[in-house]
Amino acid sequence: MLDLRGMTRVAILGGGTAGWLAALYLRKALQPHVEVLLISAPEIPIVGVGEGGILNFITALKQLDIPLFEFMSETNAVHKLGFVYEGWRKNNKDPNDYFYHMFPIIEDTSPIVTMMVNHDIPVSYITDSIQLREKNISQIELTHMLTQQKLKNNFNSSFHFDTYKVGQYLRKIALKRGVIHREGLYKDIQRHTENGLVTALLVNDECIPVDFVIDASGFSRQILGKKMMGEWQSFQESLSLNTAIPFHLKHTQKNPDLVTRSTAMNAGWVWQIPLQERIGAGYVYNSNFISAEQAVDEVEQWLGHAIEPIRTITFEAGFYKEIWKGNVLAIGLASGFVEPLEATSIGQTLQQLRLFMNIIFECQAVVSKSSVDYFNKQNANAWYEIRDFIAMHYDTGREDTPFWKFVSKDLVFSSQYLSLKKCWQHRMPKDIELMCYTMGFTSLFGRYSWITIAQALGIIKADATVADLMAVPVEEQKELISFMQRLKKKLGK
């Protein structure tokens, strides 16, 4: 049992996006007498890999009473409608080899999506997002569409943003709301001799008493990884990329792009995340197939100009099996990481914070071991969903380079994913079979997202829709046919 009823201080170690989000959530939820203290070391650089959010990021800003358009102006943010994948099925020299994964709209669109798969129309066209992106509309135009309540928009959006500026902006908001910030060098923890709970943090040779600790220390994983020796679950067999080289690019069109571009390369892929003044980019790759120098050369040949690499980041895809141990919770990069495909890092962080806060308050701050076990199990399920959904992007059949041949022949897909894939040869994906990933957590990738990628890669074919469409009532079938006629006319098909 963990009794937090008498707590007077919660400490957060780490001043990145995850740390400041945790501080804001805790400050909003806890009683005023409980101090929320964030400790950061200014000399430790903030990793700027994940500069994009998904839909739960917008939800978080609203929950934290942060005005969306103030956030945009303060963080160099631009609207994001989804993702485009270039060269994943053939190679990046084929301009026609691309597909979209746009954010879904809220309404249940199951029969329509099924009909679109039946007609070989990419399901992302159910929204207006692709047309908006291809028109390269301005941020002002899109903001106007989002703020006009009388308009019924047929698209959904999140943000691309400058990670460093997000940290600075959230810090400013948090300090105004009463969060205490101390800059100092974390050195160690002190633990209770009997129950093992963390009783203090050693910072700049000073012992700071604590009742609960959030480890948001990023890849350094100062507490859970280095002091509490958490058990690591590697995803290396399924997600083999292990190195990233970020760099900056200039905009090449009038307005910032409205999607994250993910372009397949010889040994991995390049991300391009548009901001107001520049594009944040990077090559993430498997170092067993290419060196850092070769990676830079490949990017420069592809772009046709030189780049200035910011640094080289190495990582292993995976997560800690128990991120809540005693009175310590690890979140964000400190809890796990996979390659930045589909912007999972911040999305998963928000999932962790949401369930943690729910448990604390449902249990009235007296937390049973079973509740902590439940949290860790559901966190693991969410990571398994991330692993399988990201791995599906590599189920392409490409074999034109040694890396892609390795992916095709030797990458290990989980039995869970292979079972789903086998079923999807005969019918469409179902919500109930995806629940194994989502109990306790809200799914980062719902049925629509799985269908979008699986359709694009040929994992789901038109034949798989027959049984689903036959189950649709006759009158509704007529409406679906009418919708398809209008959609085809709109798309010029």
pLDDT score at 107:
65
**Is residue 95 a part of any domain in this protein?**
no
Max CA pair span of the chain: 74
- Give a yes or no: residue 337 inside a domain: yes
Is residue 112 marked as binding? no
Dihedral in degrees, nearest 10, Cα atoms 48, 51, 53, 57:
60
Does residue 17 have a known ligand-binding role? yes
Amino acid symbol at 202: L
Beta-ladder partners of 247? 281
**3-state SS assignment for residue 331:** coil
Which pLDDT belongs to residue 105? Answer: 85
Q: Is 8 annotated as a binding residue?
A: no
Annotated active-site residue in 80, 135, 254, 325: 80
- What's residue 149's pLDDT? 59
80 classed as catalytic: yes
Mean pLDDT, consecutive 10-residue stretches, the chain (493 aa), reads 95 96 97 97 60 92 95 93 95 85 82 94 94 96 83 87 92 98 96 94 96 97 95 98 96 96 98 94 98 98 97 96 98 97 94 95 95 96 97 95 96 97 95 82 86 97 93 89 89 80
Asked, for residue 181, whether it belongs to a domain, the answer is yes
Question: In the prediction, which pLDDT does 148 show?
Answer: 80
Report yes or no on 101 lying in a domain.
Answer: no
Q: Is 379 exposed, middle or buried (0-12, 13-18, 19+ CB in 10 A)?
A: buried
Is 82 exposed, middle or buried, given 0-12, 13-18 or 19+ CB atoms closer than 10 A?
A: buried
Residue 80 among known ligand-binding residues: yes
In this prediction, residue 177 carries a pLDDT of: 98
How many whole angstroms separate alpha carbon 209 and alpha carbon 199? 6
Cα 305 from chain centroid (whole Å): 30
15 appears as a binding residue in the annotation:
yes
DSSP 1: -
Q: Give domain status of residue 418, yes or no.
A: no
Q: How many whole angstroms separate alpha carbon 384 and alpha carbon 437?
A: 7
Buried b (16+ CB within 10 A) or exposed e, 42-80: eebebbbbbbbbbbbbbebbeebeeebeebbebbbbbbb
In-domain check, residue 261: no
196 belongs to an annotated ligand binding site: no
451 is in an annotated binding site: no
Tokens of 201: 């943090």
Q: Counting beta carbons within 10 angstroms of the beta carbon of residue 419, is it exposed (0 to 12), middle (13 to 18) or buried (19 or more)?
A: exposed
Asked if residue 249 is part of any domain, the answer here is no
Predicted confidence at residue 94, as pLDDT, reads 81
CATH of the domain at 357: 3.50.50.60
Q: Are 104 and 451 in contact (CB under 8 A)?
A: no
Domain assignment present for 475: no
For 187, the domain range is 2-73+162-235+317-381
Number of structural domains the chain divides into: 1
460 labelled ligand-binding: no
pLDDT score for 46: 57
Tokens 């019924």 map to which residue? 152
| Cα–Cα dist 363/357, whole Å | 10
Q: Is 227 left (phi over 0), alpha (psi -120 to 50) or beta?
A: alpha
Q: What secondary structure does DSSP assign to 72-108, as a single string?
A: HHHHT-EEE-EEEEESSSS-TT-TT-EEEEEPPPSS-
Residue 87, pLDDT score:
95
